[in-house]
Amino acid sequence: MSHVPQVKIPATYMRGGTSKGVFFNLTDLPKRCQVPGEARDKMLLRVIGSPDPYGKHTDGMGGASSSTSKTVILAKSAQADHDVDYLFGQVAIDKAFVDWSGNCGNLTAAVGAFAISAGLINADRIPENGICEVRIWQQNISKTIIVHVPITQSQVQETGDFELDGVTFAAAEVQVDFVAPVDPSEAMFPTGNVVDDLVVPDVGTFKATMISAGIPTIFLNADEIGYTGTELQDAINGDEKALARFETIRAYGAIKMGLISHISEAVSRQHTPKVAFVAPPQPYVSSSGKVIAANEIDLHVRALSMGKLHHAMMGTAAVAIGAAAAISGTLVNIASGGGERNSVTFGHPSGSLKVGAHALCTNDKWTVKNVSMSRSARVLMEGWVRIPEDSF
């Protein structure tokens, strides 16, 4: 076999929230990968190690889960009043495709730190000590996100005592504000209802709240689909029949939300919408063995990402949870006790998370002004990734 040299591409491996991914500065990419297209997708697939029929990502930077097969490309922003453009690619594990249809809310927490360290933020915006507000334009969904990055002696502060369930070690707290996650011109509830009857052929008919805030999400009641709401990953991820049923529900929900026009299109749109199920608060033991009492949370939420139950909660789905909880009559709002609320603490497999939301109803139309939550982020490794020259 002829010798094929490897190319070196500058990259940074970062954790953001409960996810981690490979971060790139757009201008560091090979020329043909600086624009969207087949070369870029092939490059990212090879970096992550996909498609991998073994589902291990042994020959790449991926971690063989939806939380760890992520890629980020950043550039100085082309938008007024923004610092950086953030493009997110969710790399499939066993299939040869990159899903560009949504954002990763968890990795958003790391975008600010990377942008500062990569010199993408003007120096006059970075205080010697304090908080640097990084104004992010999220390209996948055309939305503004503001990340509040702590700075100590002009450097990003990554260490601290903030604990985030689903992350092993404490770190510095990073507040993430999703500004107007639903544009006034967009329908937060694509069907026009806060609750629908979702008919899924050969599966059943379920009450569903289908909301597009942060990321399009289909919320179901846990008891209607045979769950308590306190499940951990093993209860679902080892059950192929259950996963297939969730995927069917997700596909028919995607049609009802107007995201796809035919059921067959769901296969190539795995990142969105998400499907999640909710239940009223009850005590449970998280995946780390931590006991969480019913009075510590307002409700339970379990969500699936890329066909598997997520180990914690996707940041974008947390935006959807916060928005839905603030709106009376949604399944999320009902599970949390109903009424008006501007924040909610929900239980997930790894523990709990608090998310705040400010929702308004004008002329019978709901909008969300902002959703905020605290995350953390840290550089794990920096240098170059290497991939064979003929792989992209």
Output phi, psi for 90, to 5 deg: -90, 115
Annotated active-site residue in 43, 104, 210, 306? 104
Catalytic annotation on 132?
no
Can you say whether residue 77 is alpha, beta or left, with left for phi > 0 and alpha for psi between -120 and 50 degrees?
Answer: beta
* CA atoms of 48 and 64, how far apart (whole Å): 9
Please name which of 366, 355, 312 lies closest in space to residue 16, comparing C-alpha atoms. Answer: 312
Q: Please, are residues 86 and 136 in contact by the beta-carbon 8 Å criterion?
A: yes
Q: What is the dihedral of CA 90, 93, 95, 101, to 10 degrees?
A: -10
Annotated active-site residue in 33, 61, 313, 314? 314
- The radius of gyration of the chain from alpha carbons, rounded to an integer in Å, stands at 20
Q: Please, are residues 50 and 94 in contact by the beta-carbon 8 Å criterion?
A: yes
Catalytic annotation on 257?
no
Where are the alpha helices (H) located in the chain, listed in sequence order? 38-48, 105-117, 234-237, 240-256, 315-325, 331-335
Q: Which residues are catalytic?
A: 104, 314
